[in-house]
């Protein structure tokens, strides 16, 4: 019997990515406080939130295999979240210009009924160009990436902001590392292909 797969996320980006696996799945919003703990490193924050999201939804659907994910932009150990508006996005991109960031993308898969719990981290190293204020403004007006950690969408015009991307799981930068997710789903008993 194939268990129901649930994506514990409100992110349209994660939903779009998961459809690539051509697997039927439901989506449920996790009720999780995403506030970082005092002195919590970006890597630890992403892993904790991915697992908390998966567990929160798994508690409501114990027979399902639940996927939780979270991404935190890491600028020298400081977490950068979603800007939420234009002014904060401008400030983020000004701080990031000419810098190397690590986008810490975590994924967790949980099935309460079987006791399956696994999580992993897919760090993505991103080198930003030394952007002018005008380039930042033009980019933000064109793409409005206010719901993206680090104010940039590499799958769109945001790719022009970058000098390099280094990752072993190419979809991790968009928000859901599908190679790791696929591996965990198979380990949880979900058939792919």
Distance between CA atoms of residues 73 and 91, nearest Å: 14
Question: Is pTM, for the whole model, over 0.75?
Answer: yes
| DSSP summary character for residue 145 | -
Averaged over 41-47, what is the pLDDT? Answer: 96
Mean residue pLDDT across the chain: 96
Would you say 36 and 45 are in contact if contact means Cβ atoms under 8 Å apart? yes
Which one of 26, 31, 33, 70 is the catalytic residue?
A: 70
User: Residue ranges of the domains in the chain?
Assistant: 5-187
Each residue of 84-134: pLDDT tens digit?
A: 999 999 999 999 999 999 999 999 999 999 999 999 999 999 999 999 999
Residues whose CB falls within 8 Å of the CB of residue 88, separated by 6 or more in sequence, listed in order: 146, 151
What pLDDT score was predicted for residue 193?
Answer: 87
Class level of CATH domain 5-187:
alpha beta
Q: Tell me whether residue 168 is one of the annotated catalytic residues.
A: no
């Amino acid at each position: 019997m194939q268990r129901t797969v649930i994506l514990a996320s409100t992110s349209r980006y994660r939903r779009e990515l998961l459809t690539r696996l051509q697997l039927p799945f439901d989506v449920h919003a996790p009720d999780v406080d995403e506030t970082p703990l005092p002195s919590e490193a970006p890597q630890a924050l992403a892993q904790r939130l991915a697992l908390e999201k998966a567990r929160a939804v798994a508690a409501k659907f114990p027979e399902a295999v639940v996927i939780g994910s979270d991404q935190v932009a890491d600028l020298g150990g400081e977490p950068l979240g979603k800007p939420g508006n234009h002014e904060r996005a401008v400030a983020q991109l000004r701080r990031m210009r000419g810098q190397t960031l690590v986008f810490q993308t975590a994924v967790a898969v949980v099935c309460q009924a079987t006791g399956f719990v696994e999580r992993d981290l897919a760090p993505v190293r991103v080198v930003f160009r030394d952007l002018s204020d005008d380039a930042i403004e033009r980019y933000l007006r064109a793409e409005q990436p206010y719901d993206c950690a680090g104010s940039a969408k590499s799958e769109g015009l945001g790719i022009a902001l970058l000098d390099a991307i280094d990752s072993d799981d190419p979809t991790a930068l968009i928000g859901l590392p599908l190679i790791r997710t696929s591996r965990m789903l198979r380990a949880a008993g979900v058939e792919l292909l």
